[in-house]
Amino acid sequence: MAVLCRPAIAVPEHVVTLEETLALATRLHTHHPQLGLALRLIERTGVRKRHLVQPLEAVLAHPGLAERTRRYEAESKARVPAVVERALANAGLGVRQIDLIVYVSCTGFLMPSLTAWLINTLGFRPETRQLPIAQLGCAAGGAAVNRAHDFCTAYPGANVLIVACEFCSLCYQPTDLDIGSLLSNGLFGDGLAAAVVRGSGGTGIRLERNGSYLVPDTEEWISYAVRSTGFHFRLDKRVPHTMAPLTPALRALAEQHRWDAGGLDFYLVHAGGPRILDDLSRLLGVPAAAFRFSRATLTEYGNIASAVVLDATARLFEERSAVDGQRGLLAGFGPGITAEMAVGSWTGSGGRQGGDRLVGQRVPDAAGAVR
3-state secondary structure 113-133: CHHHHHHHHHCCCCCCEEEEE
- Of the candidates 211, 111, 100, 75, the one whose C-alpha atom is nearest the C-alpha of residue 159 is 100
Give me the catalytic one of 5, 106, 138, 165.
138
- Of the candidates 308, 243, 294, 306, the one whose C-alpha atom is nearest the C-alpha of residue 266 is 294
3-state secondary structure 332-356: EEECEEEEEEEEEEEECCCCCCCCC
- As a whole number of angstroms, the distance between CA 142 and CA 224 comes to 20
Identify the DSSP state of 293: H
Using CA atoms of 288, 267, 92, 142 in order, give the dihedral in degrees to the nearest 10: -120
Q: Which residues pair with 230 in a beta bridge?
A: 227
The CA R_g of the chain, rounded to the nearest whole Å, is 19
Question: Measuring CA to CA, how many Å separate 193 from each of 61, 104, 173, 254?
Answer: 27, 10, 25, 26
- As a whole number of angstroms, the distance between CA 213 and CA 136 comes to 12
Buried b or exposed e, range 114-127, using 16+ CB within 10 angstroms: bbbbbbeebebeee
Contacts of 71 (CB under 8 A, 6+ apart): 53, 54, 167, 170
298 phi and psi angles, rounded to 5 deg: -60, -45
- As a whole number of angstroms, the distance between CA 145 and CA 4 comes to 8
Identify the DSSP state of 77: H
253 in helix, strand or coil?
Answer: helix
Cβ atoms < 10 Å from Cβ of 57 = 8
Q: Is 138 a catalytic residue?
A: yes
Residues forming the active site: 138
